[in-house]
Amino acid sequence: MNRWDELNIFFRRTNTTVTFGLNALRGRRKAPGNGSTLHVGGWDGRNARDLMRYTVNKGYRVESWELGNELCAGGVEAKVKAAQYGKDVLRLKRMVERVYNGTAAGGRLPKVLAPGGFYDGPWFSEMLRVSGPGVVDGVTHHIYNLGSGKDKELINKAQDPYYLDKVAQTFSDMEATVRESGPWSSAWVGESGGAYNSGGKDVSDRFADSFWYLDQLGMSSVFGTKVYCRQALVGGNYCLLNTTTLAPNPDYYGALLWDRLMGPGVLQTTTTAASPYLRSYAHCSKKKPGVTVLLINLSNSTAFDVTVDGDMDLHPPPHKLLEADAGAVCGGKREEYHLRPEGGDIQSPVVLLNGEPLALGPCGQIPELRPAVVADGCASPLRVEPHSIAFVRFTGFKAPACA
């Protein structure tokens, strides 16, 4: 258990929220038949129980335990039938209840997650039906909608609005499955790195990837996704930290701004611009008053002037009007965080914040992310340059949903 002890020292020092994935193939056997990837029999959870007991005795904090990895439906190299998986998830739930009995902080048990694989409606519904009400706390699915990291068209897919829109159906179907078959639960993206095969060289670790990544954070939120786990912090081309220097890649800064600015309240937005190349998402600001808007300009040549207002009856200015929550009142200041690639090259590993390159300090400190402040808030148009991304907090935007 030395490695687990060392990891928990790291988790404690970094205040990390931990989800631990358990081996769901333990105890099963391959079904007969040449080339069959089906595994049959019940899950042997004794090893998981021993780890759980050790974790509790040491006082380590695990927020959730997830059963399995990519075993649902057709699986990836191996699969398990949904009914059997549902029985095994129920067993995991009972295990958590017994091991943590009377020890969980505040009386809150760790969550149980499943199945951690690619979405398949009938399979997910059957698993939830068999496991039963209140068992699965987070229904986890994986997303790699950009395809293979070796695809020469990867960089084009990441900035193609029509291609990016395709995955909306998966999020919509997932939301419907949870609502109809597991309303006690919530949808989670348990793993997503854009492109599989460790992502694409000079794409997944460059500014270009932020188009896909931040758009998907916004899109998944619209469809009720509660947690989004990025693959990976370190390792592969899709890592958030450079594998050699551990310096942040562009997506790290996008994730950091999302985490700091976008609250859990998701607002509906209506746009009047005809162009699909300007993507827009709006949330109640995180732990502060106002509304934060995420604007992503996928165009390499067109800038957009954006006006934000809560009045659905205003005449739109040129280019675009973003309307959020009819009846809202807009006022106060505007805090702008404009992200652009260095030199205008979307394959640059360097991201500019309001024109200044983001780089670690001499002792490895994350740079301060300072906004540009506009005094008149909603009164003047906001320009979003080609191939750029903007987080904009409207400090005095009073949306009823954010009250």
pLDDT values of the chain reduced to their tens digit, one per residue, 403 residues: 999 999 999 999 999 999 999 999 999 999 998 889 999 999 999 999 999 999 999 999 999 999 999 999 999 999 999 999 999 999 999 999 999 997 776 678 999 999 999 999 999 999 999 999 999 999 999 999 999 999 999 999 999 999 999 999 999 999 999 999 999 999 999 999 999 999 999 999 999 999 999 999 999 999 999 999 999 999 999 999 999 999 999 999 999 999 999 999 999 887 777 799 999 999 999 999 999 999 999 999 999 999 887 643 333 333 333 444 444 577 799 999 999 999 999 999 999 999 999 999 999 999 999 999 999 888 889 999 999 999 999 999 988 889 8
Under DSSP, the state recorded for 216 is: H
Q: Which of 6, 63, 66, 70 is catalytic?
A: 70
**134 and 96 in contact (C-beta within 8 Å)?**
no
The DSSP letter of residue 79 is: B
The CATH architecture that domain 2-263 belongs to is Alpha-Beta Barrel (3.20)
Domain ranges of the chain: 2-263, 269-402
CA-wise closest residue to 394 among 328, 326, 301: 328
- 269-402: same fold as 2-263? no
Match 């209140």 to its residue by tokens.
Answer: 134
> Is 191 considered catalytic here?
yes
Q: CA–CA separation, 184 vs 155, rounded Å?
A: 39
pLDDT at 323: 45
Inter-residue long-range contacts of 313-322, CB under 8 Å, 24+ positions, other chains counted: 316/272, 317/381, 319/273, 320/271, 320/272, 320/273, 320/275, 320/278, 321/271, 321/272, 321/273, 322/269, 322/270, 322/271, 322/280, 322/282, 322/293
CA angle 157, 251, 143 (to 5 degrees): 50
62 in Cβ contact with 20 (< 8 Å)? yes
pLDDT at 202: 98
CA distances to 73, 342, 348, 383 from 388, rounded to whole Å, are 38, 11, 13, 10
Q: What is the pLDDT of residue 320?
A: 38
The H or E element containing residue 173 is helix 168-181
What pLDDT sits at residue 300? 98
Residue 31 phi, psi (nearest 5) = -70, 145
Q: How far apart are CA 255 and CA 264, in angstroms?
A: 15
User: What are the two backbone dihedrals, phi and then psi, of residue 59, each rounded to the nearest 5 degrees?
Assistant: 75, 20
Q: Is 63 a catalytic residue?
A: no
Is the preceding omega at residue 115 within 30 degrees of 0, hence cis? yes
Contact 338, 390 (CB under 8 A): yes
Residue 260 is predicted with a pLDDT of 98
Q: How far is CA 235 from the centre of its chain?
A: 18
Q: Given this model, what pLDDT does residue 224 score? A: 97
Task: Give the chain's length.
Answer: 403
SS3 257: helix
- One-character DSSP codes across 100-151: TTTTSGGGPPPEEEEEEE---HHHHHHHHHHH-TTT-SEEEEEE-TT-BTT-
Question: Which of the listed CATH numbers 3.40.50.2000, 3.60.10.10, 2.60.40.1180, 2.40.10.220 matches domain 269-402?
Answer: 2.60.40.1180
Q: Which of 261, 393, 280 lies closest to 333, judged by CA?
A: 393
Q: Which residue has the tokens 């990016």?
A: 164
- Cα–Cα distance, 152 to 287 (Å, whole number): 42
Q: Is 271 helix (H, G, I), strand (E, B) or coil?
A: strand
Residue from 6, 63, 66, 191 carrying the catalytic annotation: 191
CA-closest candidate to residue 219, choices 296, 120, 301: 296
